[in-house]
Structure 1
């Protein structure tokens, strides 16, 4: 049983080491992705309502975030789950739009190998955020704990 548990665990992600991918590249990727987000009829207004005129600090924060995700370098120290849980206007299906835009951006800007590495992480992040934002255990109607 223990061996089954050990083999079923996901392998830890390793830092991406690719000659074309550095912080500068990630900054360009982030800016292009958010240009597409801003143009999207569903996500654009959500982001505009939250970020307002503070796009450059947000883009720098997202560059730090994706650098930390891809390079495992600790360059991001924020807390994305609480920030996203507060966004009551976001629906679960919005993550499909987000992922589709991210997939298209990485496909347009990255080699297939690098795009796949970004997408693997993006899908895991989206799943984590969806679970945090939308998964709720059913409430016991009697208010007691079953046994």
Structure 2
């Protein structure tokens, strides 16, 4: 699958139904192509990709546009997936956040990034137990995004990362290149 991302100069200033759909489609093409995540999603979504894309578009539209159309239970939807490890969360977040960052201006990107990090944290604690330690980098990024959203900083303070290092930097687990 092709997973081309738009030029940084063409980033969206605000989410709309159309660009949320495009974000979801681009992100899940990247997931499907990913050597770490692709097999897990292929098993979980066999024959249901179109349905999943529609559900995820509704989900993200509900969160960022306030459409309130999503009626599912995030925890229950993920419960049947048994072979997920911390490195899968790190990779999902890296792909999602980099896709959002490439498609939206910072103020709009926060509308996706903050809920994604909160949901990931909830799923991680549910999956690995309440004593599971959320990676520090993940916690710091969430705190930075919250400060930006609440006016504590003019723009999100994303972690520094060397060129070509996945976003966000240094989440636990191996990158797809290290597999």
Report the TM-score range of the alignment, normalised by the length of the smaller protein. Answer: 0.7 to 0.9
Greater alpha carbon shift after TM alignment, 35-44 vs 20-29: 20-29
Q: Partner residue of 1:114?
A: 108
Query: In structure 2, what is the Cα distance between the partners aligned to 1:115 and 1:59?
Result: 20
| SS, match of residue 93 in structure 1 | helix
Query: In structure 2, what is the Cα distance between the partners aligned to 1:102 and 1:37?
Result: 9
Query: In structure 1, what is the Cα distance between the partners aligned to 2:69 and 2:17?
Result: 10
Deviation at 1:91?
Answer: 0.9
Larger radius of gyration: 1
The answer to whether 1:104 aligns with 2:83 is: no
Q: Partner residue of 1:144?
A: none
Q: Partner residue of 2:34?
A: 40
Return the structure number with greater helix share: 1
2:122 to 122, 128, 139: 128
Is the 2:64–2:112 Cα contact (8 Å) retained in structure 1? yes
1:81 to 75, 84, 92: 75
For structure 1, the residue ranges without an aligned partner over 5 or more in a row are 1-17, 138-147
Number of equivalent positions: 120
Q: Partner residue of 1:12?
A: none
Query: In structure 2, what is the Cα distance between the partners aligned to 1:135 and 1:127?
Result: 11
The answer to whether 1:91 aligns with 2:85 is: yes
Q: Partner residue of 2:60?
A: 66
TM-score, normalising length: structure 2: 0.63
Q: Which runs of 4+ in 1 moved over 3 A?
A: none
Identify if the C-alpha distance between structure 1 residues 113 and 49 changes in structure 2 by more than 3 Å, giving closer, same or farther.
same
Deviation at 1:108?
Answer: 1.2
Is the 1:84–1:133 Cα contact (8 Å) retained in structure 2? no
Q: Partner residue of 1:54?
A: 48
Deviation at 1:87?
Answer: 0.7
Query: In structure 2, what is the Cα distance between the partners aligned to 1:62 and 1:129?
Result: 16
Query: In structure 1, what is the Cα distance between the partners aligned to 2:19 and 2:125?
Result: 30
